[in-house]
Structure 1
């Protein structure tokens, strides 16, 4: 017993005491998914951008969707959470994804209830991350929780195909490591290690999408895949249990993926083939392709089968075989080989049949009434019959188009209504939902443009049907542009829909931009005011209102919007520094010099890394002091600006901000300090790159 105390209990007590001391000295960063903020004396939950930093460096800018909602449960509010990756998030445009469509369908079906859909899904995350999110949710936070995940199990954190962490086979080790990262001791230790490094390439990473994973192939034979499936099964079961313990009814869904129109990203070549066998395989696939070009589908099928006798797990060959079988009318055989191509694709960006099998198996074993199983994989297959699911429901490999998102939203709506004991009757049609959420919009064109760039880069360039995918998205862009019509036509459609009682605050945000575009300021403000009444937490609309009021010299009205926008800045120092500078300027405009100086001086003192806004704050302080004839304050502000600049040079901030010396020369010239002007001009020359 004494030996156990010496070896285990004493160190454990030491680290517990150390953790408490560190928490008392200065609590570390919170990695909970939600922070609690206070608005007008009431507690609200708000998404925490720092949550993901326990898995990915902040430089990747993987952030949650904006969500702010009352912490106190309300029987009049039906709240649904969505958990998963980018497909559940609604990529490429969450404003038209299934979560917003779900809210629209439920609002129509339950006119007496307020519907809140809180989408917690994030890009590039897998079940390890979703489990951490679910554990951090407060008790009784949601009535329903939809779990739709499985595409990123290999390429997400701790998977064998990730670029960011090491692969671990022990899930308890993974969870212990994450707990250490969240602890004050762990944060202190990791910060100390980081400070010893001149640069960490992982911390300097920038998000470049799927091409970051292009070299991370994991063939079917890789023994690490079995660990992936085991981790997924364990995490999924624990996610369901955790959500249920927190009071939510869980809706568990299989994961539909594009089978028919997503050629494999990579095929693994068997190591054991001889050179002669490789030549035979290449000759057979070439002969098959030649037969297919002549529309001799049976001949193509025959040659592909011969090729697969040599390498039965070659993903591209299975995909081409499925195409040939489909063209010959053998849809069932084609469907099976499309699934084979999915399972043997060695760049694993899609949930394969094993993942969906695990979901079905777990759902069949759960006996609690707190779970509803929705087989959306099967639903998509039935919707696409006689073909397999493809571009009729997807943009590319996994992300749903509007029709695919509608299919999901409709299925989840029926599941929720059935649980509530409500007869679903006639749900809104896809066309009606599109009208109410404003699909398509100008944003649709923007996201399709971004998607076009994406599919013209790796790993899409490795797909055999990449040219057809590019053509498809270009065609969609042309269709959307034709459907949108003029700005006046867009306004008329949305006005008609709002008059009929449809739409939501996001439609009003779109309308405000459209009215601003045509120069109708009165209508723009009307939409923004109504938006604020319906949802006063939307950061971008608060900023837009403040910006418009500044342009119209309505500074006193501008200030409350800036203050509210700061409440929803979510700790983003760049945004806070910018908004605080605007707030200081607004205070100057209304003659409140005390508040103006306090706000502006806080920018360089509290956010010294935001060099642009720090220097801008000093310039504003000097200009207004000079205008007021307070020359002693001009001197003080100029001295403070020089003190800040000297420190910025020592910290390396000046080198990271190219206009630094030019700005300092301008500030000193504004202060009328010729000697300082010359000093900073000399430094500019001294620090000019060779």
Structure 2
């Protein structure tokens, strides 16, 4: 009898196990024949020695749909190749974050990691610094948590985290968005794991990928994103997810035996109105009418009579204090009255109550500071960017001193953040490398010279900032244009006739200091192309191929410029 029970148990286990064995076998077979997509962060680099990897653009593209997904997926690579085991004498840093850390073209040549690299290399010349930027626009902490977990296997010395603006955008722009609910951090982790399964990819291939028209492009997203009210369950889930993912990033750093630097996140709260405002849900119709009366009366009195306008705003505040734009206008009144402490409180409330929270608010920064407080004895490093930017502002409120829109930084802003990171990590670097810094930190003009910045390139960056501002003005009429149009006028007036040659000379000088650099070569090609010097640009593109053609990004960049020249010649021959 006992033997029969054992036999029945074994048979039952076999029957249960056979389907799993078949599924596992099918998964192995699909991987063996190379079916499906690999969504790992690092993939082997073709035509390179064993152990060399590149950053996989599909790791980021999988989170999007529509035209955004295609543009990311077609990116040749997300940086330069790296060895899984770094060379001796190398200090490797992985940067995690969103578009502020990534930088935009052409600002990528002058982004936070680039400024940090030249400062570190100048102060610690005996150490080779590799800074790999894993940041991505519009993606938040769930993706960066996954990136940190995978980067931990690639010999990191430091994780550098500037993250917190995309906790709303990163959920609702994502293809994982469902209805009006944020997925939990645990759900996102499971989805990322399952997506690597080739059997699931095979099953999905029989069904067309659902592309939500509301999320297919930037403009459709911003026009259709629904509000996430303060104190709502969705808003609380957003903060909980961020805290969970940030702690997991720190746990990955600890498992890898690496350091971690986390920054508080600065946002333009004085010159950027909230993108969405909602009333409290229990507001009655009569209360709404009263509120509208006080609010419109106060707005009509601005900016000529800020004190009187404040009285009416306060009446509206008594009825409903959750409407973000009300707090913003109160901040403007306090600013006009030079009551800076009150202005800062009101502007911060406007940011905290913004129903489209595309800026890190006080709760996000509180999560960061809480982690630093809890783990300071474990050696976590901290750069308080938000406080330093506030202290640097004349009114004590962050505006457009360093931000050209709601969160993105101008060139000096990039330098300032890199400078704060340098101050926070220099002792850690010295301890880790056994070398003390041999010179003081580079100032902004010197660091910019090391990166090849010139008046012409600075003007090019200002143009890019103004284009971004105009895009926002179309979507959000209340968006304030700020001071950059005036900055552009002054830059154009000061530009000498020799601006192009000066810019090329500045890049040549930077190449002498830094050695071969793909970004500098790319900038040189762009300057020559804009100046109509196609033959010189062709020669420069050939240099890119000679020095970086064995990397996907270098090959793509060089061929792109050569292709542009060929197209131009075809057009001329046609005419």
TM-score of the aligned structures, taking structure 1 as reference length: 0.70
What's the CA shift string for 1:478-535, capped at 9, x where partnerless? 3443455432333344445556779954233323444564649579737953895489
d(CA) in 2 for partners of 1:359 and 1:95?
A: 28
Retained in 2: the 8 A contact 1:505–1:531? no
Match of 1:289 among 299, 315, 329: 299
Retained in 2: the 8 A contact 1:512–1:528? no
Q: CA deviation at 1:406?
A: 1.1
For 1:286-325, list aligned pairs within 5 A.
286-294=296-304, 296-325=305-334
> What is the total number of aligned residue pairs between the two structures?
539
For 1:118-517, list aligned pairs within 5 A.
118-137=132-151, 139-157=153-171, 165-166=177-178, 167-194=181-208, 200-202=210-212, 206-208=216-218, 211-212=221-222, 214-294=224-304, 296-366=305-375, 369=378, 371-421=380-430, 422-423=436-437, 426-439=440-453, 441=457, 443-444=460-461, 447-448=464-465, 450-458=467-475, 460-461=476-477, 463=478, 466=479, 468-469=480-481, 472-485=483-496, 486-495=499-508, 504-515=517-528, 517=531
Q: CA deviation at 1:447?
A: 2.0
Structure 1 stretches of 5 or more lacking a match?
A: 554-690
Name the residue aligned to 2:121. 107
d(CA) in 2 for partners of 1:368 and 1:21?
A: 48
Judged with a 3 Å threshold, the aligned counterparts in structure 2 of structure 1 residues 82 and 543 are, in CA distance, closer, same or farther, namely same
Retained in 2: the 8 A contact 1:163–1:216? no
Name the residue aligned to 2:45. 37
Secondary structure of the structure 2 residue equivalent to 1:293: coil
Judged with a 3 Å threshold, the aligned counterparts in structure 2 of structure 1 residues 68 and 26 are, in CA distance, closer, same or farther, namely closer
Secondary structure of the structure 1 residue equivalent to 2:307: helix
Retained in 1: the 8 A contact 2:66–2:217? no
d(CA) in 2 for partners of 1:183 and 1:74?
A: 33
d(CA) in 2 for partners of 1:150 and 1:239?
A: 13
Retained in 2: the 8 A contact 1:180–1:186? yes
d(CA) in 2 for partners of 1:311 and 1:8?
A: 60
What's the CA shift string for 1:613-643, capped at 9, x where partnerless? xxxxxxxxxxxxxxxxxxxxxxxxxxxxxxx
d(CA) in 1 for partners of 2:460 and 2:221?
A: 24
Q: Which stretch shifts more, 56-65 or 271-280?
A: 56-65
Judged with a 3 Å threshold, the aligned counterparts in structure 2 of structure 1 residues 525 and 356 are, in CA distance, closer, same or farther, namely same
d(CA) in 2 for partners of 1:7 and 1:325?
A: 74
Q: Which stretch shifts more, 141-150 or 442-451?
A: 442-451
Judged with a 3 Å threshold, the aligned counterparts in structure 2 of structure 1 residues 189 and 472 are, in CA distance, closer, same or farther, namely same
Secondary structure of the structure 2 residue equivalent to 1:99: helix
Q: CA deviation at 1:357?
A: 0.8
d(CA) in 1 for partners of 2:67 and 2:428?
A: 42
Structure 2 stretches of 5 or more lacking a match?
A: 1-5, 431-435, 570-575
Q: CA deviation at 1:360?
A: 1.1
Q: CA deviation at 1:52?
A: 2.3
Q: Which stretch shifts more, 7-16 or 256-265?
A: 7-16
Q: Which stretch shifts more, 436-445 or 231-240?
A: 436-445
> What root-mean-square deviation, in Å, do the aligned CA atoms of Structure 1 and Structure 2 show?
3.4
Judged with a 3 Å threshold, the aligned counterparts in structure 2 of structure 1 residues 49 and 498 are, in CA distance, closer, same or farther, namely closer
Retained in 1: the 8 A contact 2:277–2:354? yes
Retained in 1: the 8 A contact 2:294–2:312? yes
Q: State which structure, 1 or 2, has the greater radius of gyration over its C-alpha atoms.
A: 1
d(CA) in 2 for partners of 1:335 and 1:530?
A: 48
d(CA) in 2 for partners of 1:111 and 1:528?
A: 30
What's the CA shift string for 1:32-78, capped at 9, x where partnerless? 11211144545422121211243223642235633323343112222
Secondary structure of the structure 2 residue equivalent to 1:366: helix
Judged with a 3 Å threshold, the aligned counterparts in structure 2 of structure 1 residues 380 and 12 are, in CA distance, closer, same or farther, namely farther
Retained in 2: the 8 A contact 1:211–1:457? no
Secondary structure of the structure 2 residue equivalent to 1:146: strand
Judged with a 3 Å threshold, the aligned counterparts in structure 2 of structure 1 residues 80 and 474 are, in CA distance, closer, same or farther, namely same
Judged with a 3 Å threshold, the aligned counterparts in structure 2 of structure 1 residues 502 and 378 are, in CA distance, closer, same or farther, namely farther
Name the residue aligned to 1:72. 85
In the alignment, structure 1 residue 542 sits paired with structure 2 residue 558:
yes
d(CA) in 1 for partners of 2:146 and 2:60?
A: 10
**Relative contact order higher in (CA < 8 Å, ≥ 6 apart):** 2
TM-score of the aligned structures, taking structure 2 as reference length: 0.83
Judged with a 3 Å threshold, the aligned counterparts in structure 2 of structure 1 residues 408 and 535 are, in CA distance, closer, same or farther, namely farther
Q: CA deviation at 1:83?
A: 0.7
